[in-house]
Amino acid sequence: MLAAVVRARVRQSFKNWSYDLRLFRWFYKEYEEQRESPHHNYASEATIEIPDTFKCIRLETFPSKTITINKEQAERIYKQMATIRRLETVANAMYKAKLVRGFCHLYSGQEAVCVGIHAAMRPTDHLITAYRCHGWCYLMGLKPMEILAELAGREAGCQRGKGGSMHMYNKRFYGGNGIVGAQVPLGAGIGLALKNEAKGNVCVALYGDGAANQGQIFEAYNIACLWRLPVIFVCENNEYGMGTKMHRSSCSIEYYTRGVPLPGIYVDGMNILAMHNAAEFAIGFVQKEGPIIIEAHTYRYFGHSMSDPGTSYRSRDEVAEVRSKRDPISYFKEITISQGLLTEDQCKKIDEDIRKSIDEAAEKAKKSNEVKKEELWADVYMDNKEVGIRDTIGNRHKHFHAGKTLEKDHIKLKSFTPDTKLEPKDIPFEIKEWEAQMEAIKDVEKGKKSNQKSKSDDKPEKK
Ligand SMILES: Cc1ncc(C[n+]2csc(CCOP(=O)(O)OP(=O)(O)O)c2C)c(N)n1
Ligand SMILES: [Mg+2]
């Protein structure tokens, strides 16, 4: 009897066990199938290897070549890049429909530069850029509707339609600047204010390869380096300054090396992850060591501005090749899908939602009116110190605020006093070598002089 009970129990537990095993096998098979499927969507985060494209100079530590991102971050990055791309497509259409007049420089193709840097920035960091600024306007907090209305010169625009494409601002965002290179010394100035404020914030100052040869760029490097200002100089090298290829305007196209003795990093500006890591490294670096240069190698898909078809100085094939092989959005989409962070369907849905919301923003922008004539001289200054507005003799316009103005505590100007505690910059090793060489030369010179002196001492005095 007992033996029969034991036999029955053993049979039962064997059955249970084999059932468990079958269940396990089934689960495992499902899991494997999902893993191999291009549409799987199971990873909550992934560590991605960044192709080794960094080049560094005058640095002893380097940006990381791996990055760990989670689903939410991947989705946010994809959304930001796709929004900027769509925003420019709509701006292009509005320009062609003559709703946008004047200048309009599109950013399509360069999205990874701004999204990558922005992902590494803290909310309290500051930024200034040139006229190709729509992507940055969006990332620095302006809504697509405000940007499109600004382009169209409407009062719903972020500057009530009085700034246009090149002059949009927000807190900690100093535009949009139309004078090539002018924003770079301004960025150094913001860096000086931030250093005085002593809260550990940094300023990113962007300029193009076409601006990189200007004298004021080197003057800004010099003073920033001398005073160890927390500034990241970013050269957005899109290979062209208007219709001039970089090789025709620059004796050296290694823009990251050109700030002697500033350190520099070259990064693939079409790779958002590499861009992020370079910016993250730079933010850490400038707080401790002083300024640094990042050269982001990128490409613009449209002409220089809307009035340039962009095909007389480069071939359509060249643009098509970059679009098919180096497109920053396609790269990010592929890598995140292959890592299981996003799915094809999810990306499609995001694209559709963005298309809809930007189209709605454009419609809303178009319905807004232009500001009235009287408002043209309003909001010229944030904090006007004079009674009227200069150079309005005859009209004598009094200053007044009509629309939104930037908050006064942009940077706490009260603490803007000359920094007397500046320490001399730690001398980078290359300079130390130079100094040693200079000392050696001086010694030789001294030796020569004393030799000459003793020789001349030997000479009989002329009478
Ligand atoms: C001081 C000054 N000189 C010339 C111009 C005319 N200009 C406008 S954009 C540009 C080319 C700048 O190229 P780059 O710096 O590479 O910027 P990208 O347009 O490629 O973003 C020039 C010469 C200007 N706006 N300001
Ligand atoms: Mg350029």
* pLDDT grade for 144, boundaries at 50, 70 and 90: very high
Mean pLDDT of 313-320: 97
The rounded Å distance from CA 320 to ligand 2 centre is: 18
Distance CA 380, CA 382 (A): 7
pLDDT value of position 424: 42
What does the block give as tokens for 381?
């200054």
The rounded Å distance from CA 295 to ligand 2 centre is: 12
The rounded Å distance from CA 198 to ligand 1 centre is: 33
The rounded Å distance from CA 154 to ligand 1 centre is: 26
Helix, coil or strand: residue 397: coil
Protein residues placing their CB within 5 Å of the ion ligand 2: 208-210, 238, 241
The rounded Å distance from CA 182 to ligand 1 centre is: 10
CATH topology of domain 45-370: Rossmann fold (3.40.50)
Indicate if the pLDDT at residue 434 is higher than 80. no
In this prediction, what percent of the chain has a pLDDT beyond 70?
Answer: 78
Indicate if the pLDDT at residue 271 is higher than 90. yes
pLDDT value of position 396: 72
The rounded Å distance from CA 131 to ligand 1 centre is: 9
106, 180, 253, 298, best to mutate for ligand 1 pocket (most atoms within 8 Å of CB): 180
DSSP 8-state assignment for residue 415: G
Phi, psi of 322 (to 5 degrees): -65, -45
Q: Are 106 and 163 in contact (CB under 8 A)?
A: no
Q: Is 188 in the pocket of ligand 1 (CB under 6 A)?
A: no
Indicate if the pLDDT at residue 456 is higher than 70. no
Tell me which of 28-32, 165-169, 459-463 is least confident: 459-463
Distance CA 124, CA 108 (A): 27
pLDDT value of position 316: 96
* pLDDT grade for 436, boundaries at 50, 70 and 90: low
- Please state the domain extents for the chain: 45-370
pLDDT tens sequence across 101-129: 999 999 999 999 999 999 999 999 999 99
Answer with the residue of higher pLDDT: 356 or 400.
Answer: 356
CA 239 to chain centre: 17
pLDDT value of position 148: 98
The rounded Å distance from CA 107 to ligand 2 centre is: 11
Q: Is 263 in the pocket of ligand 1 (CB under 6 A)?
A: no
Nearest bound ligand to the CA of residue 242: 1
The rounded Å distance from CA 215 to ligand 1 centre is: 14
pLDDT value of position 452: 66
pLDDT value of position 2: 59
Indicate if the pLDDT at residue 234 is higher than 90. yes
Q: Is 134 in the pocket of ligand 1 (CB under 6 A)?
A: no
Q: Are 117 and 204 in contact (CB under 8 A)?
A: yes
The rounded Å distance from CA 75 to ligand 2 centre is: 29
pLDDT tens sequence across 16-56: 666 666 766 765 665 565 555 544 556 899 999 999 889 99
Among 360, 335, 363, 359, residue whose Cα is nearest residue 347? 335
Nearest CA owner, ligand 1 atom 5: 180
pLDDT value of position 16: 66
* pLDDT grade for 429, boundaries at 50, 70 and 90: very low
Indicate if the pLDDT at residue 135 is higher than 60. yes
Distance CA 380, CA 403 (A): 11
Among 414, 427, 422, residue whose Cα is nearest residue 229? 422
Q: Are 43 and 340 in contact (CB under 8 A)?
A: yes
Among 240, 235, 239, 201, residue whose Cα is nearest residue 221? 235
- E-strand ranges in 93-132 read 126-128
Q: Is 239 in the pocket of ligand 1 (CB under 6 A)?
A: no
Q: Is 304 in the pocket of ligand 1 (CB under 6 A)?
A: yes
**Ligand 1, atom nearest to 241 Cα:** 13
Q: Is 238 in the pocket of ligand 1 (CB under 6 A)?
A: yes
**Ligand 1, atom nearest to 236 Cα:** 21
Mean pLDDT for all residues in the chain: 87
pLDDT value of position 386: 75
pLDDT value of position 32: 62
**Ligand 1, atom nearest to 182 Cα:** 1
Nearest CA owner, ligand 1 atom 4: 180
Distance CA 319, CA 178 (A): 25
pLDDT value of position 182: 98
**Ligand 1, atom nearest to 212 Cα:** 15
How far is CA 314 from each of CA 88, 209, 213, 317, 398, rounded to the nearest angstrom? 21, 16, 22, 8, 50
